[in-house]
Structure formats: structure tokens, C-alpha cells
A and B are shown apart, each in its own frame.
Chain A
Amino acid sequence: GAGVSQSPRYKVAKRGQDVALRCDPISGHVSLFWYQQALGQGPEFLTYFQNEAQLDKSGLPSDRFFAERPEGSVSTLKIQRTQQEDSAVYLCASSLGVVGYGYTFGSGTRLTVV
């Protein structure tokens, strides 16, 4: 597709529920990133993939967060046993190269945990 596509756009989860957020990067983009943006804050780095390899997961807040990109294209961010502090917009971005030169973000998934 023309841009980075994320689904669903909005997700309401009950506390304790598991959720899965999907990201379709721009075709051919090697690098894929997940960021978390809490209300009133800037995006914060979660994890980075180069093709199917997860090279950095240092930003994942806890072991309840898990990301995968098994075939080097579509990626899924999974959050187990959601808590209220997980409420945020989850942004996916992709880029052709590997450096932080202006990668393309999707519109995000707004997760609300009630």
C-alpha cells in the first residue's frame, strides 16, 4: 500500500484482556518500529525489527508486551493482561533503510483499557 496501515484504529479492552495490534508497513521497507504515545506525551520507542529479526526490544515496558514480524513484513504487537496504564496510542513506523531518517508512521491504534 501507499502508506503504513494499522488496525484496528480504536480498541477498547477490559482490564486483564489480551489485545493484538497489527501493522502493515510500506512494501519493501526493511525496518519496522513500534512506539507508544501516552496522552500529552511524545512517542516513546518500544521495539525495532530489521526484516524478521527483532534487533531491539529495550523499550517494551514489561514482559506482558510482545512483538513479532515472522515473515519480515506485517508485524503484530501483543499486550497480555492489559492494565489501565497501557492506554495509549500505539504507532508503527517503517523505513527503507536502517537509520532514523524520517521514517513513515501509521495513524496509530488508540488503545483504551477500562
Chain B
Amino acid sequence: DQQVKQNSPSLSVQEGRISILNCDYTNSMFDYFLWYKKYPAEGPTFLISISSIKDKNEDGRFTVFLNKSAKHLSLHIVPSQPGDSAVYFCAASVIKAGSNYKLTFGKGTLLTVNP
């Protein structure tokens, strides 16, 4: 049973446009969310995170939005660059509970930014 779902296996956008990657979760206990980026043959790299007490967090070209009532989060990349082409994983954690170290990942979305 997938607790973190990324329903789009792939996304293709033009350079300079906005990329929107979506993530849904089913476990209402999740209170901390992260996005990781992964290039081929490398490990995932932390990108940005958001706590459930916020609905938006921004870092340069990357913004994460959280809609708790819908159990949905999204990552916006503006403007998209060819170097952003990678697999993006959404992950969630339960900070309040004792297992706050454990991340539950989605299956990932392959983003391709075309020049």
C-alpha cells in the first residue's frame, strides 16, 4: 500500500517554463515532507522540505506547496533549466512520533527539460 504517491511517471517541459511535480499522501500522520532529486548512477540529493505547519516554502527557483486538507503537495520549478532534468522523489516523515528519522518515498517522476 503506497502511502506516498507520485502518479505521473514522467513530465516534459520547455526550458524557461514552469515545471510542476505532484505528490499525494494517504497517511495523515505525516507532518514533514521533502523533495529529493536524483541523477542517473547517483544517490538522491535533498532539494527542499516543508513542515505541516506551513503551506509554502521557497528556495530560489524551487517552491513547495502543501495542501493538508487534500493531502497533496507540489514542487514548482521556475524557470526550468536543462540541468533540472532528473528523477524527483517526494518523501514524507512523522516528526512528532519516535520514528522521525524514517522517510517514506514515492516512486518518483522523471522530469525532462528540453532546450
Give the shortest distance, in Å, between B60 (CB) and chain A (any CB). Answer: 15
Give the shortest distance, in Å, between B70 (CB) and chain A (any CB). Answer: 21
Asked if A43 CB lies within 8 Å of chain B CBs, one says: yes
Residues of A within 8 A of B106 (CB): 42
Asked if B104 CB lies within 8 Å of chain A CBs, one says: yes
Give the shortest distance, in Å, between A71 (CB) and chain B (any CB). Answer: 20
Does the CB pair A107–B43 fall under 8 Å? yes
Does the CB pair A107–B42 fall under 8 Å? yes
A63 to B89, CA, bound (A): 29
Give A110's nearest chain B residue, CB to CB: B41
Q: Interface code B100-115, partner A: CB below 8 Å = 1, 0 otherwise?
A: 1111111110000000
25 A–B contacts from the bound complex (CB under 8 Å): A33-B101, A40-B107, A42-B89, A42-B91, A42-B105, A42-B108, A43-B89, A45-B103, A48-B101, A56-B99, A99-B93, A99-B100, A100-B32, A100-B91, A100-B95, A100-B100, A100-B101, A101-B32, A102-B46, A105-B43, A105-B44, A105-B45, A107-B41, A107-B43, A108-B43
Which A residues form the contact surface with B (CB < 8 A)? 4, 31, 33, 40-45, 48, 56, 59, 91, 93, 98-108
